[in-house]
């Protein structure tokens, strides 16, 4: 498992870590056996909760990205969200480094990391074991182990009583301060094989040359990505579609174009408009 403490999208939907890769040190402590704070003058019991306020979403930290072969599509609007799962924490190994929003990580502040919630946002995290809760500001990406829901700062983990154990079962609920009440549900990665609904517009394989924007293991993720870029495409007056390939995966593409030169020209325009690296290939 590794955290991108600075979200660096070097290629299309590919996250390249700007900090070191880390692996969990069992179920105790943070991600290293010595990841705790050591001696500190900070009274963790007195660290105040994060105070929710209306903030603009980060310009770059909410783009789709891939970690360990798994693609994540962050939400681009704040929305009602409630989920239960395992919380973990990270400490001094990343204290003072940049988070995905470019802010400095403070293990003694009330913050957290989540794979797909919009950055920044605020959530209430409640321990299912003891009922203790804390409000944190989500400003980082992670965790990327499939059995982890959220990564807490050391201070937040201490407040709800999971710092010593390293992990704990929690409920995470979004706090929508100043956010629209009616918005789409939070986007994320859907595990397993998900087929398109019966009325979905999935294109059959045909001739010509296309510009591929992304490839996904199931239809839900392809649809979420298409929704993510649709506004930019509409502005550019370009229509994107979803196609199921022979291997069962779904690709989001524009075209087809009769000539490769036309497709390459469109690809250059899309690379600039979307901030992605597209791929020209046969339809």
pLDDT tens sequence across 105-133? 898 899 999 999 999 999 999 999 999 99
Percent of the chain with pLDDT over 70: 70
Residues 6+ apart with CB under 8 A from 256: 206, 207, 208, 209, 210, 263, 283
Cβ distance 223 to 216 under 8 Å?
no
Residues 6+ apart with CB under 8 A from 215: 245, 249, 250, 251, 252
Q: Provide the pairing of β-strand 202-203 with 240-244.
A: parallel
How far apart CA 117 and CA 119 sit, in angstroms, is 6
Output the average pLDDT for the chain: 74
Res 70 pLDDT > 50: yes
Tokens 């903030």 sit on residue: 55
272: left (phi > 0), else alpha (psi -120 to 50), else beta?
Answer: alpha
pLDDT in the model for residue 211:
86
What dihedral angle (degrees, nearest 10) is formed by the CA atoms of 49, 55, 188, 281? Answer: -150
pLDDT band for position 244 (cuts 50, 70, 90): confident
Nearest CA among 229, 259, 260, 258 for reference residue 242: 229
How far apart CA 225 and CA 236 sit, in angstroms, is 17
Please give the backbone phi and psi of residue 223, each rounded to the nearest 5 degrees, phi first: -65, -40
Q: Which domains does the chain have, with CATH numbers?
A: 8-175 (2.40.40.10), 202-282 (3.30.70.1070)
Tokens 């009330």 sit on residue: 110
Tokens found for residue 254: 């524009």
Across-strand partners of 84? 171
Handedness of CA 160, 163, 164, 165 (dihedral sign): positive
CA angle 12, 13, 16 (to 5 degrees): 95
pLDDT in the model for residue 141:
92
Tokens found for residue 256: 């087809």
More confident residue, 117 or 144: 117
Nearest CA among 3, 73, 8 for reference residue 32: 3
- pLDDT tens across 10-45, in order? 323 333 333 333 333 333 334 444 455 655 556 888
Q: Per mean pLDDT, which range of 95-104, 136-145, 161-170 is the poorest?
A: 95-104
């Amino acid at each position: 498992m590794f955290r991108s403490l600075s979200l660096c999208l070097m290629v299309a939907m590919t996250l390249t870590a700007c900090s070191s890769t880390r692996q969990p040190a069992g179920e105790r402590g943070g991600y290293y056996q010595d990841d705790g704070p050591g001696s500190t003058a900070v009274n963790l019991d007195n660290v105040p909760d994060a105070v929710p306020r209306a903030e603009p979403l980060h310009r770059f930290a909410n783009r789709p990205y891939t970690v360990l072969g798994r693609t994540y599509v962050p939400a681009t609007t704040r929305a009602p969200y409630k989920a239960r799962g395992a919380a973990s924490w990270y400490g001094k190994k990343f204290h003072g480094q940049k988070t995905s929003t470019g802010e400095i990580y403070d293990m003694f502040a009330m913050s957290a990391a989540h794979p797909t919630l919009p950055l920044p946002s605020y959530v209430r995290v409640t321990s299912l074991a003891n009922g203790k809760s804390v409000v944190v500001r989500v400003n980082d990406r992670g965790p990327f182990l499939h059995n982890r829901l959220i990564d807490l700062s050391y201070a937040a983990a201490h407040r709800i009583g999971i710092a010593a154990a390293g992990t704990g079962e929690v409920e995470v609920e979004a706090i929508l301060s100043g956010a629209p009440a009616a918005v789409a549900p939070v986007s994320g990665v859907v595990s397993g094989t998900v087929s398109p609904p019966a009325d979905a517009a999935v294109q059959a394989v045909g001739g010509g040359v296309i510009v591929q924007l992304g490839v996904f293991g199931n239809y839900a993720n392809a649809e979420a990505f298409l929704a993510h870029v649709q506004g930019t495409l509409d502005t550019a007056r370009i229509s994107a579609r979803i196609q199921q390939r022979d291997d069962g995966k779904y690709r989001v593409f524009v075209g087809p174009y009769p000539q490769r030169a036309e497709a390459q020209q469109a690809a250059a325009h899309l690379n600039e408009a979307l901030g992605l690296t597209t791929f020209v290939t046969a339809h």
